[in-house]
C-alpha cells in the first residue's frame, strides 16, 4: 500500500500539500493527515476524497503529546505501507522579543521548540523505516532560518534547526535514494500570523506569497531532488545575503526594513 503522510494538514501549507500530492504521486492508495482540529481534518478529507477518490485517513491529535505517535505507529506496524512522501508542515511562531514573549506567555517559546523541532524529528524518524528508494521528505522550514532574527529569535532558531537537520539527513539518505527537501518560504498568506502576531512592515508586504505558490514550487523542487526549496526572487536573494553578508550588516538592514 502506497501512502503519503502530512502533518499540520488542517490549514495553510499543510492543507495545500494534501490537495496537490495526488497529482504528484498518481498511484497513491491513501493519504494520512494529522492536526489538532478534527473538524478541519474532516473537511480536508471530504474535499480530497471527492476530488481524487483517494482514501484520506485522519489522525487527530496534538504533536506535543505521545498518543498521536502511538496511533500512527500502530497503523504503520499493522499495515506496513510504502510511504512515498512525508510532509512535516506542523509548526507555529511568535513574533516579539524573547524576553517580552516570556513575560506574557512563558511556555510559548518552549512549545515552538517542541513542535517545530522535536515533533518534526520524531515523526521523521518514526516514518523513515517505511520509506524506500524514490520516497521524499519535505520539511517546512522558513526563510527565517537563513540568519538569526531579532524579534523572532526562537522561531528563527527552530527553523535553522529544521533546515540543518534536513540538509544533513538528505546527505545521509542519498545512498538509499530517499530525497529530503527543506522548504524555506518567506511570509505566507495563511493563519500563521493569527497565532504569531504581526505588523504591516515593508518586509512582510513585499514578500507575502500564497500557500499555493509555495507548495507548487516545493513539489517541483522535490521532483528535481533539490535539498532546499525557496519560492520567489526576494527570498532567494535573502538566502544569498544570509551566506555572504556579515550579521551586523544584516541586522541593521532588517531593523530598517521591518519598520
Per residue in 233-256, pLDDT tens?
Answer: 676 666 666 665 566 665 555 555
pLDDT at 125 over 80: yes
The whole-number pLDDT of residue 206 equals: 62
CA separation, residue 93 to residues 152, 220, 225 (Å): 8, 26, 28
Better-predicted residue by pLDDT, 149 or 225 = 225
Percent of the chain past pLDDT 90, that is, above it, reads 73
Q: Dihedral through CA 187, CA 220, CA 31, CA 227, nearest 10? A: -80
Whether residue 185 contacts residue 142, with contact meaning beta carbons closer than 8 Å, is answered with yes
| Position 106 confidence tier, pLDDT thresholds 50, 70, 90 | confident
What residue numbers bound the domain in which 116 lies? Answer: 2-257
Mean pLDDT calculated for residue range 204-215? 82
Kindly report the CA angle at 73 between 68 and 78, in degrees rounded to 5?
Answer: 130
Cα(246)–Cα(164) distance, integer angstroms: 20
Average pLDDT of the chain, as a whole number: 89
What is the DSSP track for the chain? -EEEEEESTTSHHHHHHHHHHHHHSTT-SEEEEEES-HHHHHHHHHHHHHHH--EEEEEE--TTSSHHHHHHHHHHHHH--EEEEEEE-------S-HHHHHHH-TTHHHHHHIIIIIIHHHHHHHHGGG--TT-EEEEE--GGGGS--TTSHHHHHHHHHHHHHHHHHHHHHGGGT-EEEEE--SSBSSTHHHHH-----HHHHHH-B-HHHHHHHHHHHHHTT-SEE--SHHHHHHHHHHHHS-HHHHHHHHHHHT-
Three-state secondary structure along 119-136?
HHHHHHHHHHHHCCCCCE
The whole-number pLDDT of residue 259 equals: 55
Mean pLDDT calculated for residue range 97-102? 94
**Best-predicted range by mean pLDDT among 107-116, 182-191, 192-201?**
107-116
Percent of the chain past pLDDT 70, that is, above it, reads 83
Per residue in 137-185, pLDDT tens?
Answer: 999 999 999 988 888 899 999 999 999 999 999 999 999 999 999 999 9
Q: Which residue has the cell 523505516?
A: 129
Exposed (0-12), middle (13-18) or buried (19+): which is 60, by Cβ within 10 Å?
A: middle
Cα(35)–Cα(59) distance, integer angstroms: 7
pLDDT at 219 over 80: yes
Exposed (0-12), middle (13-18) or buried (19+): which is 104, by Cβ within 10 Å?
A: exposed
The whole-number pLDDT of residue 227 equals: 97
The whole-number pLDDT of residue 129 equals: 98
CA separation, residue 102 to residues 108, 110, 239 (Å): 7, 10, 29
CATH number, domain with residue 24: 3.40.50.720
pLDDT at 94 over 80: yes
What angle do the packed helices 38-52 and 12-24 form, to 10 degrees?
Answer: 20
CA separation, residue 196 to residues 54, 101, 108, 192, 229 (Å): 34, 11, 10, 6, 23
Per residue in 11-36, pLDDT tens?
Answer: 999 999 999 999 999 899 999 999 99
| Position 90 confidence tier, pLDDT thresholds 50, 70, 90 | very high
Q: How many domains does the chain have?
A: 1
Amino acid at each position: 500500500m502506497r501512502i503519503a503522510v502530512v502533518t499540520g494538514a488542517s490549514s495553510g501549507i499543510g492543507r495545500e500539500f494534501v490537495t496537490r500530492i495526488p497529482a504528484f504521486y498518481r498511484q497513491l492508495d491513501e493519504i494520512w493527515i494529522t492536526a489538532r482540529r478534527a473538524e478541519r481534518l474532516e473537511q480536508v478529507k471530504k474535499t480530497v476524497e471527492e476530488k481524487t477518490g483517494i482514501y484520506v485517513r485522519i489522525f487527530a491529535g496534538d504533536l506535543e503529546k505521545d498518543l498521536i505517535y502511538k496511533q500512527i505507529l500502530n497503523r504503520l506496524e499493522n499495515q506496513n505501507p510504502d510511504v512515498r512522501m512525508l510532509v512535516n508542515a506542523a509548526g507555529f511562531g511568535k513574533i516579539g522579543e524573547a524576553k517580552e514573549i516570556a513575560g506574557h506567555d512563558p511556555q510559548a517559546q518552549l512549545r515552538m521548540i517542541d513542535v517545530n523541532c522535536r515533533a518534526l524529528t520524531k515523526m521523521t524518524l518514526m516514518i523513515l523505516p517505511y520509506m524506500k528508494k524514490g520516497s521524499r521528505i519535505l520539511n517546512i522550514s522558513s526563510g527565517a532560518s537563513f540568519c538569526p532574527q531579532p524579534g523572532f529569535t526562537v522561531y528563527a532558531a527552530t527553523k535553522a534547526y529544521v533546515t540543518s537537520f534536513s540538509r544533513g539527513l538528505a546527505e545521509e539518505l542519498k545512498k538509499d535514494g530517499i530525497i529530503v527537501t527543506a522548504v524555506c518560504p518567506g511570509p505566507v498568506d495563511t493563519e500563521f500570523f493569527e497565532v504569531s502576531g504581526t505588523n504591516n512592515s515593508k518586509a512582510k508586504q513585499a514578500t507575502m506569497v500564497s500557500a499555493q505558490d509555495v507548495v507548487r514550487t516545493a513539489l517541483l523542487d522535490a521532483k528535481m531532488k533539490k535539498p532546499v526549496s525557496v519560492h520567489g526572487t526576494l527570498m532567494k536573494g535573502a538566502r544569498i545575503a544570509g551566506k555572504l553578508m556579515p550579521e551586523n550588516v544584516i541586522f541593521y538592514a532588517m531593523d530598517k526594513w521591518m519598520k
